Amino acid sequence: MRVMISGGGTGGHIYPALALIQRLKERGLLDDVLYVGTQRGLESRIVPEQGIAFKTLEIQGFKRSMNVDGFKTNFKTIQLFMHSIKEAKQMIREFKPDVVIGTGGYVSGSLLYAASRLKVPTIVHEQNSAAGVTNKFLARFVDKVAISFESVSDQFPMHKVVLTGNPRAQQVAGMVPNQRLSEFGLKTDSPTVLIFGGSRGAPSINKAFIDAVGQLNQRPYQVLFVSGQVHYEHVQAELAGKQVNSNLAIVPYISNMPEILPDLKAIVGRAGATSLAEITALGIPSILIPSPYVTNDHQTKNAQSLVEQDAAIMIPEAQLTGDRLVIALDQMLENPDDQHAMAQAAKKIGIPDAADRIIEVIETII
């Protein structure tokens, strides 16, 4: 089949799209693919690196402020949207896709709206527990809405909704321990927790770790801490003069982080959709610290979906301290029965065949 796909701005939109493309290739179902994004988004770098054909549309989001600058920006946004629809229609006519898929971001709004006007089969995929603005808009026009969390279903027309999970989960579901912990000077046979704050790191999580180092030095489990590249020097400066025992490893970044997930007993981190898809596919207990700086506080809603199923512990960022972090880690890692129960609950939530489920939806509409 010929597929046009669009997801822009953040990795949370891009990586599910790439995971779906990969699965289509693995199953021999993909004749050709075109990815449509923006020049400014991460997709402009990530997608071409994967050897996938890539084109761009110029589009931007609305400003919520209603002052003069906000009005001018929003007027330009409308102009760009109308122009991008015209360009998107031309791309669609030239590529002749069997289906057009959107995974979020403003750019997918233009492409899928254009496809719906041209009567091309369309699907949007919502990764989070709170629907994005673009996907809410598109839900009126597309054929199907694929969701990752049952709790978001009531935000879309019910007759269009299909629970599929996040395609990213299928990329990691079959992974097995591969002894990568030794790369960081850690033992491969000791319980290990990963602490990280997303691709760029999170100052609040970094501070909690720094404050907890003295206690973590004495724990029977290991900690692999990822500060984020931009924060690494600051973290090292804060730790200067403090003892850091061999059960703690501190790094700025981990390439291909999903590879180490099967070697972990627990994860501490944000509650982005991609991270939750990965940890539930593998059944890893987690301590979630949702970012309070995301649209509609959707990470808190994501985390709550796991907490309600006893698959995770949530600590609001405003309540995060070094002591609170250690208490939660001890609760999880020093009680094998509780840890096992959380792992089983997480795996029950995970949908390891998510990409295949979306492919089934595609096949029903083309």
Q: 128 labelled as ligand-binding?
A: yes
Distance CA 350, CA 335 (A): 23
Q: 12 labelled as ligand-binding?
A: yes
Q: 98 with 2: CB under 8 angstroms? A: yes
Contacts of 302 (CB under 8 A, 6+ apart): 128, 129, 130, 149, 271, 272, 273, 276, 288, 290
Tell me the two tokens of residue 231: 């924060």
Q: 10 labelled as ligand-binding?
A: yes
For the CA atoms of 223, 224, 225, 228, the dihedral, rounded to the nearest 10 degrees, stands at -170
Phi-psi sector, 193: left (phi>0), alpha (psi -120 to 50), beta: beta
Q: 254 labelled as ligand-binding?
A: yes
What is the C-alpha radius of gyration for the chain, rounded to an integer number of angstroms? Answer: 21
Distance CA 58, CA 106 (A): 10
Beta strands, E only, the chain: 2-6, 32-37, 54-56, 99-102, 122-126, 144-147, 161-163, 192-196, 222-226, 248-251, 266-269, 286-288, 312-314
Could you tell me the CA-to-CA distances from 14 to 8, 43, 150, 163, 254 in Å, in that order? 6, 6, 21, 19, 19
Distance CA 297, CA 281 (A): 23
Could you tell me the CA-to-CA distances from 237 to 118, 193, 242 in Å, in that order? 57, 23, 10
Report the interhelical angle of 106-117 vs 68-95 (nearest 10°): 50
Distance CA 288, CA 78 (A): 37
Q: 135 with 323: CB under 8 angstroms? A: no
Q: 85 labelled as ligand-binding?
A: no
Tell me the two tokens of residue 8: 């822009």
Q: 20 with 354: CB under 8 angstroms? A: no
Which residues contribute to the annotated binding site?
10-12, 128, 199, 254, 299
Which residues contribute to the annotated binding site for UDP-N-acetyl-alpha-D-glucosamine?
10-12, 128, 199, 254, 299
